[in-house]
């Protein structure tokens, strides 16, 4: 018989006898399921963190931050500086001449989570120009009006916190703010905010400076000239970055942390699953010692035996990968979690299923490696005599 | 106790399988130790915080600016021993990769409020006398190689009124938190210097820190402060140090749930593994167990024997796993500050989990083993 035929025959007999080793086989399947489930869930969270980054940012959007600020949270931009940016060349204009320009200010606001715990959300004030940018899609109510204490809330925030339903009022610094609208989740950092008019927010909170300015250029090619004009303007002590770079810098560490945690925990759990698989396959090989010895005696080679045990290991691990990914998908896909004032949308993508299957195959291979060697090294005479 | 050798021999009946199982359980407890250690470690930090300290911050959110005018009113609340304004900001030293944080306050009062800090009285006097002075934590002194008397420049996102972003400090002394060396990183400077130099946010502090006369009155004093500003445009939210830290922890939000879900998944898988292992072990030993019964072991004796074996096995494995996690935890500390060592309670929790795992996992096999019919078992039926 050829190598392939022998391997196939051996694998088939091994799988047929799996019913007699239900316990050990189930341990492998469940072990791999838990690894895959946890890994896929954590990576789904890391996907959510990644979408906060700049991947989805338009290439022609540019951010102006105060000097030496490492992120928009620490940035201070005076009214004069923010206004001066408006005169820069290359800013796209609406047909009526209004520039695509918005200055923003951010206030961190405590709110109570639906589980009773305290969390914080960002109340972001935008100057009116924000309407020219891709506006968040309102799904209920209407947009806030300038000069009145009104705000709109993202759909995930509304669901996650108490008292932020449409029509509710929240009291901040002795002023009542009305929730007048709800906008749809976009998977970006905007999911984590309450939005309002910048000047209204600044006067209510006694602020006299913005944090950043966002502009849209006529084309990405206008960026170098725009940047040069801003940086060489003596009235401006600011930094210029593309929106993409700014988001990437702000959230890079966050995203890395999640990936690091996911692979660390997944790795430790996978080690445990490998030990479980080793046990299961040793049991499989031991239970078939006499059969294997008989097959060796009638001319089966060592290589097909090794191959068949390795295949058995991977076949045992595979259902775990699918099951674990499926459980993670059912429980968590589209689910939102909040940490440090940011809303993350868990995103179970097909890539994660591939990652999960790859991990399972590696776990299966490693778990089958030593048992396969034992099976191949079987001393025919000894094994046949054993009971 | 005389059955101990028997239990021990039972555990190692099949060496390779026992070693693998031991490793599998130990791995699970490594993860348990690290995750649970992080989780409990943070709450332990809270438990040992100082009960006589109160943090008066804006009811909007911690760190939202409050006008300095509140200071006099807070000082006049009965039970307040000391109070100082506090404003923190961040910057970088020499390169954007070297962040530093600056805490500004009324220097003399700050060290009275944080009286556990080790600092030379002469340094505090020098700071009060030198507008641009700074007392630096010894962690940062060593990290950047600074010396007392040195002038340092910190680049910050906070603009000065002259338009520059360079904040100059003259180091006049060193401080140290003896119990929490990781807290000795910030630069402590004069609020007055920050306030008159900055472009925006003048005459506002991030919070006021109060030391009360008697820790027992802390809640009442906190309430009195909040009442004093109720319904004003500067409503305050006064919290104890423990509450403040707990609130910061809550900002981690759902991470707590995630940790527990992971531990749950790990133990669910492990439960099946131990159960299957014990089942296999019992099945292989049917003749031996029958012999034990023949020589006088009762059903209950066999049950206890198998359970004891499982418990001993899981406890040994858990001990190995938790031992490893003690060494791994400091690595995780780089991600989440505030944890120094494995809290003792984690060992207790780990032990309890191991016990539960062993008993539940072995319950069915042990029950089966104890119900053996001697004649059938010996006959191999």
Checking if the pLDDT of B275 tops 80, the result is yes
Nearest to B231 among A120, A174, A237 (CB): A174
Domain termination residue (choose one: A176, A203, A236): A236
Q: Which of B233, B324, B48, B29 is nearest to A275 (CA)?
A: B29
Rounded to a whole number of angstroms, the distance from the CA of B323 to the nearest CA of chain A is 15
| A75 and A223 part of one domain | yes
| A348 and A257 part of one domain | yes
Q: Which of residues 85-144 of B touch A (CB under 8 A)?
A: 89-92, 96, 99
| A371 and A257 part of one domain | yes
Nearest to B17 among A65, A172, A282 (CB): A282
| A122 and A201 part of one domain | yes
| A229 and A307 part of one domain | no
CA gap A16, A251 in Å, rounded: 51
What does the H/E/C string look like for B35-79? HHHHHHHHHHHHHCCCCCEEEEEECCCCCCCEECCHHHHHHCCCC
Rounded to a whole number of angstroms, the distance from the CA of B2 to the nearest CA of chain A is 31
What does the H/E/C string look like for A101-116? EEEEEEEEEEEEECCC
Residue A77 lies in a domain: yes
- pLDDT tens string A190-217: 888 999 999 999 988 888 889 999 999 9
| A209 and A304 part of one domain | no
Most trustworthy range by pLDDT among A158-162, A183-187, B171-175: B171-175
| A221 and A257 part of one domain | no
Rounded to a whole number of angstroms, the distance from the CA of A95 to the nearest CA of chain B is 36
Nearest to A34 among B156, B164, B265 (CB): B265
* Average pLDDT score over residue span B359-365: 85
| A231 and A343 part of one domain | no
> Is B304 in the A-facing interface, judged by CB distances under 8 Å?
no
pLDDT category at B338 given cuts 50, 70, 90 is low
Q: Which tokens is A100 given?
A: 């695509």
- pLDDT tens string A312-369: 889 989 999 999 999 999 988 888 887 777 888 888 999 999 999 999 999 999 999 9
Provide, as residue numbers in chain B, all residues whose Cβ is less than 8 Å from the Cβ of A78.
Answer: 159, 199-200
User: Which chain B residue lies closest to A239 (C-alpha atoms)?
Assistant: B157
Q: Which tokens is B101 given?
A: 């944080």
Q: Which of A222, A280, A211, A202 is nearest to A246 (CA)?
A: A211
| A156 and A232 part of one domain | yes
- pLDDT tens string B231-270: 888 889 898 888 887 777 766 667 777 778 888 888 888 8
User: Which chain B residue lies closest to A370 (C-alpha atoms)?
Assistant: B16
User: Which chain B residue lies closest to A286 (C-alpha atoms)?
Assistant: B17
Residue A296 lies in a domain: yes
How much is the mean pLDDT over chain A? 87
Residue A152 lies in a domain: yes
Residue A243 lies in a domain: no
Residue A231 lies in a domain: yes
> Is B334 in the A-facing interface, judged by CB distances under 8 Å?
no
Q: Which of A97-101, A162-166, B333-337 has the lowest mean pLDDT?
A: B333-337
Checking if the pLDDT of B64 tops 90, the result is no
Cβ–Cβ below 8 Å for B155 and A208: no
Cβ–Cβ below 8 Å for A268 and B30: yes
Instruction: For chain B, give every domain's residue range.
Output: 4-47+253-379, 60-234
How much is the mean pLDDT over chain B? 85
How many structural domains is chain A composed of?
Answer: 2
SS3 A215: strand
Rounded to a whole number of angstroms, the distance from the CA of B327 to the nearest CA of chain A is 14
Give which of A18, A20, A23 to mutate to test B binding, by max B Cβ within 10 Å. A23
| A224 and A281 part of one domain | no
Residue A62 lies in a domain: no
Q: Which of residues 96-115 of A touch B (CB under 8 A)?
A: 107-110, 113
Domain that holds residue A139: 68-236
Neighbours of B216 (CB within 10 A): 11
Cβ–Cβ below 8 Å for B280 and A23: yes
Give Cα B347 distance to the centre of its chain.
15
Rounded to a whole number of angstroms, the distance from the CA of A247 to the nearest CA of chain B is 17
| A218 and A78 part of one domain | yes
Domain termination residue (choose one: A193, A211, A236): A236
Which ranges of B91-230 does DSSP label H, i.e. alpha helix? 107-113, 121-129, 138-144, 191-197, 218-228
| A294 and A325 part of one domain | yes
Residue A61 lies in a domain: no
Domain termination residue (choose one: A189, A207, A236): A236
């Amino acid at each position: 018989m050829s190598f392939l035929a022998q391997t196939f025959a051996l694998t088939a007999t091994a799988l047929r006898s799996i019913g007699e080793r239900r316990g050990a086989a189930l341990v492998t399947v469940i072990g791999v399921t838990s690894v895959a489930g946890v890994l896929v869930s954590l990576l789904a969270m890391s996907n959510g963190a990644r979408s906060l980054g700049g991947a989805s940012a338009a290439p022609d959007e540019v951010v102006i931050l105060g000097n030496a600020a490492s992120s928009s949270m620490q940035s201070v931009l005076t009214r004069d500086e923010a206004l001066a940016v408006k005169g820069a060349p290359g800013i796209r204009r609406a047909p009526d001449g209004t520039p695509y320009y918005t200055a923003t200010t951010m206030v961190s606001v405590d709110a109570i989570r639906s589980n009773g715990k305290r969390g914080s959300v960002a109340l972001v004030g935008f100057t009116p120009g924000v309407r020219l940018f891709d506006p968040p899609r309102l799904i209920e109510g209407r947009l806030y009006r300038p000069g009145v204490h009104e705000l709109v809330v993202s759909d995930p925030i509304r669901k996650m916190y108490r008292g932020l339903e449409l029509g509710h009022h929240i009291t901040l610094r002795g002023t009542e703010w009305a929730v007048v609208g709800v906008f749809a989740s976009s998977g970006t950092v905007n999911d984590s905010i309450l939005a309002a008019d910048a000047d209204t927010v600044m006067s209510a909170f006694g602020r006299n400076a913005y944090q950043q300015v966002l502009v849209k250029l006529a084309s990405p090619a206008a960026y170098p000239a725009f940047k040069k004009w801003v940086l060489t303007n003596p009235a401006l002590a600011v930094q210029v970055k593309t929106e993409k770079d700014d988001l990437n810098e702000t959230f890079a560490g966050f995203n890395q942390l999640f990936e690091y945690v996911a692979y660390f925990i997944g790795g430790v759990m996978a080690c445990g699953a490998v030990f479980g698989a080793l046990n299961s396959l040793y049991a499989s090989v031991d239970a078939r010692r006499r059969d294997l010895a008989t097959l060796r005696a009638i001319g089966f080679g060592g290589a097909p035996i090794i191959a068949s045990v390795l295949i058995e290991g991977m076949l045992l691990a595979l259902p775990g990968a699918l099951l674990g990914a499926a459980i993670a998908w059912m429980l968590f896909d589209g689910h939102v979690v909040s940490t440090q004032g940011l809303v993350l949308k868990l995103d179970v993508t097909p890539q994660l299923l591939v990652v999960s299957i790859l991990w399972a195959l590696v776990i299966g291979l490693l778990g089958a490696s030593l048992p396969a060697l034992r099976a191949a090294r079987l001393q025919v005479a000894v094994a046949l005599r054993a009971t | 106790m005389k059955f101990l050798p028997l239990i021990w021999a039972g555990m190692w009946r099949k060496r390779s399988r026992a070693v693998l199982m031991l490793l599998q359980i130990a791995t699970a407890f490594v993860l348990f130790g690290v995750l649970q250690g992080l989780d409990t470690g943070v709450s332990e930090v809270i438990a040992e915080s100082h009960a006589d300290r109160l943090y008066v911050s804006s009811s909007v959110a911690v760190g939202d600016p409050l006008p300095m005018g509140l200071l006099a009113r807070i000082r006049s609340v009965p039970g307040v021993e000391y109070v100082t304004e506090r404003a923190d900001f961040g910057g970088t030293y020499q390169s954007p990769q070297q962040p530093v944080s600056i805490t500004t306050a009324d220097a003399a009062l700050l060290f009275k409020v944080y009286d556990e800090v080790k600092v030379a009285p002469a340094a505090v006097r020098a700071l009060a006398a030198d507008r641009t002075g700074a007392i630096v934590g010894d962690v940062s002194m060593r990290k950047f190689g600074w010396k007392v008397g040195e002038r340092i420049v910190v680049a910050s996102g906070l603009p000065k009124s002259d338009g520059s972003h360079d904040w100059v400090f003259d180091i006049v002394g060193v401080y140290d938190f003896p119990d929490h060396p990781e807290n000795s990183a910030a630069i402590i400077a004069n609020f007055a210097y920050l306030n008159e130099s900055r472009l925006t946010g003048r005459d506002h502090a991030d919070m006021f820190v109060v030391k009360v006369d008697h820790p027992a009155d802390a809640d009442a004093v906190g309430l009195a402060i909040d009442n004093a500003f109720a319904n004003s445009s500067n409503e305050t939210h006064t919290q104890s140090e423990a509450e403040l830290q707990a609130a910061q922890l809550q900002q981690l939000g759902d991470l707590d749930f995630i940790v527990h879900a992971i531990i749950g998944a790990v133990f669910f898988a492990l439960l099946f593994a131990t159960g299957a292992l014990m089942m296999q072990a019992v099945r292989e030993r049917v003749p031996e167990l029958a012999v034990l019964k023949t020589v006088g072991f009762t059903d209950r004796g066999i049950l206890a024997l198998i359970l004891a074996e499982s418990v001993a096995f899981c406890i040994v494995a858990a001990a190995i796993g938790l031992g490893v996690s003690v060494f791994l935890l400091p690595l995780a500390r780089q991600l989440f500050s505030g944890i120094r060592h494995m809290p003792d309670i984690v060992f207790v929790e780990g032990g309890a989990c191991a016990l539960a795992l062993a008993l539940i996992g072995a319950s069915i096999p042990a029950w089966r083993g104890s119900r053996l019919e001697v004649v059938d078992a010996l006959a191999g039926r």
